[in-house]
Structure 1
Amino acid sequence: MKISAFRSVAAQAAAALCVFTAATAPALAAPVKNIVLVHGAFVGGAGWRPVYDILTKDGYNVTLVQEPLTSFNDDVTATKRVLDSLNGPCVLVGHSYGGAIVTEAGNDGHVKSLVYIAAHALDAGETEVGNGKKYPNSLGGAVVKTPDNFLYLNPADYPADFAADLPRAQAEFEAHAQMPTAAAVFTAQIDDPAWKKKPSWYMVAKADKIINPDLERMYAARAHSHTVEIAGASHSVYESHPKQVAALIEQAAQQSDQ
């Protein structure tokens, strides 16, 4: 066979292989575009605003859950109500006590992956109170209990304990805008943790005084989460480091198969 003829046959074979590969290779999954953000105890959804702004600017559809914090079931129901309203899959994100909520609600079919931001990722039979005894936090102030069994943080101690890396004026405002939280939510148990079946991402706040960073690390390691640690970050890491938080959420969205 002449060299020119051989080259022609080889070129045709290569072209045919490319066509076969393109026709038979699975299409790359598009990134998930819906993000649902769940706040923790004592705070409302407004604290997510810096993260919301970044995610929406980057083209994501972001919905915030406003849990009533009146019971664990009420808070999970509020989250499921948002999930039911979605058109398509989502990444479900929880901060602090919100992690317990997404661990339960994350079994919903809309949820493709979970993101924990300095949050509780409970296993079956565990409670936040029980895990807190195993991994004590470093609160400097008191948790106040109301006559009807709701809790809040002493406003005088809130800036140092909850939000040490926020501007003082912002932290003091949030201290006086707290949402008292039913004490019973901290002893709620989860029968079927979603992180056992779905991929997760975890952000450890290394200067967290509300949840012991070693407890956060335990949660992340146990769930085999993609993990990042933020030096100097308080429990309010979702407000003080919104770029890093948004980047972690976007990573989850881009790596979650639809």
Structure 2
Amino acid sequence: MKILSHVTSVLALSACFLASTGAMAQDAKAHHTPVRNIVLVHGAWVDGSGWKPVYDILTKDGYHVSLVQEPLTSLEDDVAAAKRVLDLQNGPTILVGHSYGGSIITEAGVHPNVVGLVYVAAHAPNVGEDEAALGKGKPSYTSKQAGAIEKTSDGYTYLNPADFPKDFAADLPAKQATFEAHSQMLTAANVFGTPMTAAAWTTKPSWGIVAGNDKIINPDLERWYYARAHSHTTVIAGASHSVYESRPKEVAAVIEDAARHAMQ
């Protein structure tokens, strides 16, 4: 009877151990499962169509990709547009922003579905900061050009079409850059000077891409943002501000790296 009792105890302990090990394996598997949802946010003066080369790569690799078409009427409106799309995601999500889109994801990234942020040649202000003021500390090439940034009588900005190709899209085909110069989304001037009320990068992991030949945002400002946020940083040498269009493979690789590691 003692032997039977001992065997029973050993079997019971083994069952508990195997159950515990199985649960740990399941937890580990869940913990290391790559994120499958990706939301892309465009910046000022453009719309979401510029993301198509990156979108094509990500969807081919099996990701569920959504794009935000923000109105560019105010930071509040643009953040609301991003959160609207985030509400539609069915689980953990990587939120990606280009240029002014970095300010949008900085605020919208506090959404509970967001587990990681990717800044693509983007601004990343902290709470109480705004990109216009930060840009004065490390001014861009474009900001120092008289007449490069134009403003309408009702307070909307755009890039002078003559300057757009060389400033915004120097490494895109000339025909494409010229088309984008004439299909700009005018952007409310106040979006650039609106202070942040949240900064998701202070609590969530982030990745940052520096466009080495960026004339719209000073590359040194991009480096500073990402160093402060402790972002995993990639420098794409020679890339213009349109890096997400001209170098989609490199940009998609960074986004996929974030998707694989954000929840580890």
TM-score of the alignment, normalized to the shorter chain, above 0.5: yes
Q: Tell me how far apart the structure 1 counterparts of residues 20 and 71 of structure 2 sit (CA, whole Å).
A: 52
Deviations 1:22-52 (A, max 9, x none): 4344423211100000000000000000000
Deviations 1:200-231 (A, max 9, x none): 00000010000000000000000000000000
Shift in Å, 1:192: 2.1
Find the counterpart in structure 2 of residue 237 from structure 1.
Answer: 243
RMSD: 1.7
Q: Tell me how far apart the structure 1 counterparts of residues 197 and 156 of structure 2 sit (CA, whole Å).
A: 24
- List alignment gaps of at least 5 residues for structure 2: 1-13
Shift in Å, 1:125: 1.8
Q: Tell me how far apart the structure 1 counterparts of residues 18 and 88 of structure 2 sit (CA, whole Å).
A: 41
Q: Tell me how far apart the structure 1 counterparts of residues 107 and 136 of structure 2 sit (CA, whole Å).
A: 22
Count of aligned residue pairs for this structure pair? 243
| 1:137 counterpart letter in structure 2 | S
**5 Å matches for 1:11-22?**
22=21
| 1:207 counterpart letter in structure 2 | N
Find the counterpart in structure 2 of residue 106 from structure 1.
Answer: 109
Deviations 1:74-109 (A, max 9, x none): 100100100111111100000000000000000000
Find the counterpart in structure 1 of residue 3 from structure 2.
Answer: none
**5 Å matches for 1:67-146?**
67-139=70-142, 140=145, 142-146=148-152
Find the counterpart in structure 2 of residue 227 from structure 1.
Answer: 233
Q: Tell me how far apart the structure 2 counterparts of residues 256 and 213 of structure 1 sit (CA, whole Å).
A: 25
Moved over 6 A (4+): none
Identity of aligned residues (%): 64
TM-score (norm 2): 0.89
Deviations 1:138-182 (A, max 9, x none): 114510000000000000110000000001000000000000000
Helix, strand or coil for the counterpart of 2:28?
coil
Find the counterpart in structure 1 of residue 4 from structure 2.
Answer: none
Q: Tell me how far apart the structure 2 counterparts of residues 133 and 189 of structure 1 sit (CA, whole Å).
A: 15
1:42 matched to 2:71? The reply is no
Shift in Å, 1:126: 1.4
Helix, strand or coil for the counterpart of 1:32?
coil
Shift in Å, 1:198: 0.1
1:27 matched to 2:28? The reply is yes
Q: Tell me how far apart the structure 2 counterparts of residues 19 and 230 of structure 1 sit (CA, whole Å).
A: 48
**5 Å matches for 1:141-152?**
142-152=148-158
- List alignment gaps of at least 5 residues for structure 1: 1-14
TM-score (norm 1): 0.91
| 1:134 counterpart letter in structure 2 | G
Helix, strand or coil for the counterpart of 1:27?
helix
Find the counterpart in structure 2 of residue 193 from structure 1.
Answer: 199
